Structure formats: C-alpha cells, structure tokens
Amino acid sequence: MNEREIAAETERVRRLQDREAPRYDRQIAFFERILFAGGREWVCGQARGRVLELAVGTGRNLPYYPADVSITGVELSEQMLAIGRRFANELGRDADLRLGDAQALDFPDASFDTVVCTLGLCTIPDPRGAVAEAQRVLRPGGQILLLEHVRSTSLPVRLIERVLEPLAVRFAADHLTREPVDYLAAEAFEIEQVDRSKLGIVERVRARKPGRPSRPGAAASGDRRDVPPNPYGL
C-alpha cells in the first residue's frame, strides 16, 4: 500500500476498533482459551527495563508484566484506550497509556529496552512499518516479543485462512496469513526463538536488535528526554 492507502486504512481500523471496544474483552477471551492460552504470560514475563507495548488495546497484558518494569503503551483507538486506562487503575498498575500510531511512534530513537506486541500486527495496516518503528525506538541489544496468529504451516489450514481472509479483513481488519518473522528479518532483527502451535496458526517470537545492550532503563546517550510527557494524562 502507498502512504495514502495506509492512512485511509488506518482510519478505518480506528473506526472499527472504536466500535468493537465494548465487546472486545468478551470476544477475545474465547480465542485466548482455545488458541492463545499462556501466550500473554510468555510474552510479558520476559519483558525487561523500559517496555513499550504496541496496540495496547484494553490492557489485557497488564497483569502479566513483572512488577519492576516501566510500561508505556500506545493505542490507536480512543475507546480501547479508555477501557485500558480504567483497567490499569483497577489493577493499581502504574502505566503510561496514550493515543498513538504504531506505524509512526512519537518517541526518540533508542528509548526502550523491550517492545511488546500481542495480536496487533495482524491488524496494523503497515506491519513492516510498525516493526521498523519498533527497531528504531529499541536500544541496541533490546528485544521485541510477539504473540500472533499467522499463516499456518499446514497447507489445508492455510487454504482455509486464505478463503476466510477477505471477510476477516473487511469486517474486522484482521489479516490471517501474515508472517511477522518476515518483517523482523527484513528490519535486521536477530531471531532468537520462534514457537509454533495450534496447527501452525499461533506464533510466539523473541527477537533482538543487533548491538551491545545497555543497562536496562538507562537513558539513551545520557538524554532523559526519551519518553515525552503524556499529553493524554494518566
């Protein structure tokens, strides 16, 4: 897609997610039971230092982060974000959750130790652009942790995905046959672990930005401006 098409699709995704926000937690809970059980725990349990979560949504990952990490989350949908902020308050979790576009992050280079994205790259209009942004804001040696539904390794299942995908994209902006590992490799991430399950539909990934890691949570090049003030207030 060109820039104009990406912008138009991003607005469509925003509208769809605003509309679905009140029902999202109930709907995704079903799929978490049958497909993604343990996935959020696997991803968030490995997060370290300053963490950026892309497409934080309603905040379903928040209970699973270690207590000592600093969490910043960006979300395209205002309605999703409102639910996520309420959930963070209920948990007593100090998290900076703000409106933002994963394809154009409002953070300087080398700002975070960990980037997390769960079930988000399937919906983001320009997933490679989002991965490129994740690479940019990660410090050298920083890690990206993903949980996604992807193009199945089973041919019969993959054929079913291809048949269903046009409807899924039209009504939910949900792409069924994307492969995040391809985007990571294209952006020079070092793939450390890929786990497939559920007939190859579900994928857990850990990858790392090349370079020597700095002390987790330390400012990039001594500059404390790495995360600007939150204009939306939390």
182: helix, strand or coil: helix
Q: Is residue 53 part of a domain?
A: yes
H-helix or E-strand spanning residue 189: none
Q: Is residue 33 a part of any domain in this protein?
A: yes
Q: Is the model's pLDDT at 77 over the cut of 90? A: yes
Pairing of strands 70-75, 190-197: unpaired
Residue 233 pLDDT exceeds 80: no
Residue percentage of the chain with pLDDT more than 90 = 90
Confidence of residue 215 (pLDDT cuts 50, 70, 90): low
CA distances from 77 to 3, 152, 155, 156 (A): 20, 28, 35, 35
**DSSP designation for 124:** -
Q: Kindly report, residue by residue over 42-54, the tens digit of the pLDDT.
A: 999 999 999 999 9
| pLDDT band at residue 194 using 50, 70 and 90 as cut-offs | very high
Tell me which residue range forms the domain holding 25.
3-208
Taking only the tens place, the pLDDT of each residue in 178-189 is: 999 999 999 999
Q: For residue 217, what pLDDT is reported?
A: 52
CATH of the domain at 31: 3.40.50.150
Give a yes or no: residue 227 inside a domain: no
Domains in the chain, number: 1
Establish if 58 belongs to a structural domain.
yes
Whether 216 is in a domain gets the answer: no
CB–CB of 173/77 below 8 Å? no
Q: Is residue 217 part of a domain?
A: no
Tell whether 221 is covered by a domain: no
pLDDT score recorded for residue 214: 63
In a domain, 220, yes or no: no
